[in-house]
Amino acid sequence: MTVIYFTDGALIDDLHIRKSLLRIPEIIKCLRENQKEFLNCDLFIAMMDQNVFSLLNYHQKSRLKIMLQQSLFQRWQAQGVEPDLIIRRRDYEDFSQLTSTFLKLSTIEQLKIVTIGPGFDELEAFLRIQLKLNSAPLYDMIHQDPNLNWFWSDVKSGLHLHS
């Protein structure tokens, strides 16, 4: 069973991550197509400048994260694999509700969890520590993509807060 898990997108707040995402053609296309939604802000500059990104309000940042994650998901879908289930962090009021869902899923033998983040969030620690799942069923979409993993390992090694 393949589960797509959309994280909270917190890593997108990181300037290095945003700059790295600009290497992905689907991200560039998404920014061009949705630029008109962001009045008085150039999305490409916001992706490359922390001060400009900080000027975006909460709703603009949230919309940008959703757009970027949708672009990553579209890239994943182009591989021809259909997910059995899609879970979005934002659909859960608190972490305990999310963990309850994954407790039930963890009983499935052929479970494969692909995160659309980029990266992971606090769910990874829960799955590894509380449920004692090994790394086998956990996949970061960017790291898994053979055309993107060449740069993603270096990006992830530079992060200290998330894996």
Q: Residue 163 pLDDT more than 50?
A: no
Contact indicator for 44, 50 with CB cutoff of 8 Å: no
CA separation for the pair 138, 29 (Å, rounded) = 28
Q: Which amino acid is at 145?
A: D
- State how far the Cα of 54 lies from the Cα of 16, in Å rounded to an integer: 14
The helix/strand/coil state of 71 is: helix
- CA separation for the pair 102, 142 (Å, rounded): 22
Express each pLDDT in 132-160 by its tens digit: 765 557 788 887 787 777 666 666 666 54
Using DSSP bridges, classify how beta strands 2-6 and 112-116 pair: parallel, antiparallel or unpaired. Answer: parallel
pLDDT number for residue 162 = 42
- What proportion of the chain, given as a percentage, has pLDDT over 70? 88
> How many C-alpha atoms does 158 have within 13 Å on its Cβ side?
11
Q: How far is residue 105 from each of residues 62, 111, 130, 133, measured CA to CA in Å?
A: 28, 8, 14, 12
What pLDDT score was predicted for residue 157? 63
Structure tokens that stand for 6 in this block: 């959309």
Mean pLDDT, the chain, as a whole number?
87
Higher pLDDT, 162 or 10: 10
* Token digits of residue 130: 């509380």
- Are the beta carbons of 141 and 118 closer than 8 angstroms? yes
- Cα separation, 2 vs 95, in Å, equals 21
Q: Per-residue pLDDT tens for 36-70?
A: 999 889 999 999 999 999 999 999 999 999 999 99
Q: Rounded mean pLDDT of 86-113?
A: 90
pLDDT number for residue 161? 44
Q: What's the pLDDT at 142?
A: 81
Instruction: For residue 2, report the phi and psi dihedrals to the nearest 5 degrees.
Output: -105, 120
pLDDT of residue 159: 57
- Give per-residue pLDDT as tens, 15-25: 988 998 999 99
